[in-house]
Structure 1
Amino acid sequence: MSASPAAGARAHSGPSSDFIEKHRAQNPSSRTILVTGATAGIGLAVANHLLASPAQHLLILAGRKVDVLNELAANNPDRVITRPGDMADLEYVEHVLRDIDLVGRLDALVLNHGTLGASLRIVDTAVDEWERTFRINVSSYVALVRSALPLLRTTKGRIVFTSSGAASNAYSSWGAYGASKAAINHLAMTLKNEEPDVIAVSVRPGVVDTAMQVDIREKYLQNMDEQDQAKFIGAKRDGKLLPPEKPGHVIAELAVRAGNELSGLFLR
């Protein structure tokens, strides 16, 4: 998995092509999987679950927290390659897979990164804030899917999108976020029609105890309707937030095992 640095990314190390070929021969259940947003929350839970699997999966991990990526690579030097960077930078996104020698194989994408955006009501939101939210939550997904499709067709691979209940339930001040997640669900449906050899699913993970929930409570609550404020405050107070490992483990297994019958679906 030797690679040259992508735009906006630092140099990094990873397993060699010879190692990958030998590893795959010795571990026929091993899959090569890209996980984005892999340095916190659900994405980190996905990465840890896949790394703990006896199948000995090979991972490409993308995220913004370089220290977390370095630790994951240090603990798994033969099975992890890191791609630090910001998904708002589409030049970086275009190079995430392009510069990596995958020895002709990629089995799955877990596209988990995203942003809530400014969390403002439409009347108060600048159009460029909507554009930035869609760049991170939609355009970068499309760019990664386009880069991966030639390899995923060959492996009859899988794409798992982390979506949200906001895709189908409107919250005041979440317009850009909810619309972008609805677009992701539509992307999965479109891929089902256009790419019959690739399984694409989107997942609603539930209300999860992540940094986004902290931001909702501490930064954006005043922009929401009162009943929605009460919902998110109450979820934390009453211990109803899911640990990231709950949806993370499900998403990780979908990346390895999702069947054709799930393609195009929005899963809860």
Structure 2
Amino acid sequence: MARLVNLEILTFFLGIGHSIVTQILKKEPTAKVVGVSRSEEPLKQLASEYPERFVYVAGDLLNDDTSKEVIKKTIDTFGHIHGVVLNAGVLEPVASIADANIDDWKKLYEINVLSPLSLASKAIPYLRFTSGRLVFVSSGASVSNYRGWGAYGSSKAAINHLAASIAAEEPGLFSISIAPGVVDTDMQVQIREKHKPNMSEENHKKFTTLKETGQLLPAHVPAAVLANLALYGQGDDINGKYLRYNALELDSYK
């Protein structure tokens, strides 16, 4: 895979976002990254480690002004945008469709769908100049059904469709949606400790067993694939697709 120069990448800083950023910065010495998160401390730490190559915006992407600030800061600081990693996801509400609280669903959709959509739409005009890449972080729940996960699963299915739609609408860009597998994050803690009453016993046991048997993925495993796709992703064979991080089609990015 060819090395790139003057590579600017935006990334959400949630979940496995920290690992994605660090791997991008370590893999590609010319890469420059703009991180986005509501929590400033981990952003400040990375900025101190990579003062010339990492800048950040501490803000909530539910606020459209934050997306505008991110784009402006990227262009003002680095001049271009070559890639965007869109890594946003909350699980709650976990409840049956019959018990759906519409306000809770709206909040989840604002976080999981509308905030990535806002940033992607604002980045696309700049990505056209660089034949850039958009990498969406999806979930296996987007194509599987778990009791109580209707809000989360459907929001990630929407992310898959966004990635595919961008590929169809923007022939000069590369867009892909990736399920990172079952990663050992705070979301897994919530599943095991909080959401059992609204999940099937079988599904809850599946996740607790993965933890007990040491089968949860460390974040750096899928993050490596996501980082490589942000840096080097290309090809009509995977453009617009939804794939698991360990799909055969992604072997060259592992």
Shift of 1:93: 2.8
> Which amino acid in the other structure matches residue 186 of structure 1?
H
* Secondary structure at the counterpart of residue 229 of structure 2: helix
Counterpart position of 2:252 = none
- Does residue 1:88 correspond to 2:30, yes or no? no
> Which amino acid in the other structure matches residue 239 of structure 2?
S
Aligned alpha-carbon RMSD (Å): 1.5
Q: Determine if contact 1:37/1:111 at 8 Å carries over to the other structure.
A: no
- Does residue 1:144 correspond to 2:115, yes or no? no
* Secondary structure at the counterpart of residue 260 of structure 1: coil
Equivalent in 18, 30, 36 of residue 12 of structure 2 = 36
Counterpart position of 1:264 = 240
TM-score normalized by the length of structure 1 = 0.85
Which runs of 5 or more residues in structure 2 are unaligned?
A: 245-254
- Does residue 1:227 correspond to 2:202, yes or no? yes
CA–CA distance in 1 between the matches of 2:196 and 2:49? 38
Q: Determine if contact 1:104/1:151 at 8 Å carries over to the other structure.
A: no
Alignment deviations for residues 192-226 of structure 1 (CA, whole Å, 9 cap, x no partner): 11000010000011000011111111111221011
* Pairing of 1:1-268 with structure 2 (within 5 A): 29-38=5-14, 41-100=15-74, 101-261=76-236, 262-268=238-244
Which runs of structure 1 show a deviation greater than 3 angstroms over 4 or more consecutive aligned residues? none
What percentage of aligned pairs have identical amino acids? Answer: 39
Which runs of 5 or more residues in structure 1 are unaligned?
A: 1-26
CA–CA distance in 1 between the matches of 2:163 and 2:28? 29
CA–CA distance in 2 between the matches of 1:51 and 1:99? 18
CA–CA distance in 2 between the matches of 1:213 and 1:175? 17
Alignment deviations for residues 133-165 of structure 1 (CA, whole Å, 9 cap, x no partner): 111111111111111111101100000000000
> Which amino acid in the other structure matches residue 191 of structure 1?
I
Shift of 1:185: 0.3
> Which amino acid in the other structure matches residue 44 of structure 1?
H
Shift of 1:28: 5.5
Q: Determine if contact 1:88/1:132 at 8 Å carries over to the other structure.
A: no
CA gap of 1:196–1:54, structure 2 versus 1, over 3 A, is closer
TM-score normalized by the length of structure 2 = 0.90
* Secondary structure at the counterpart of residue 231 of structure 1: helix
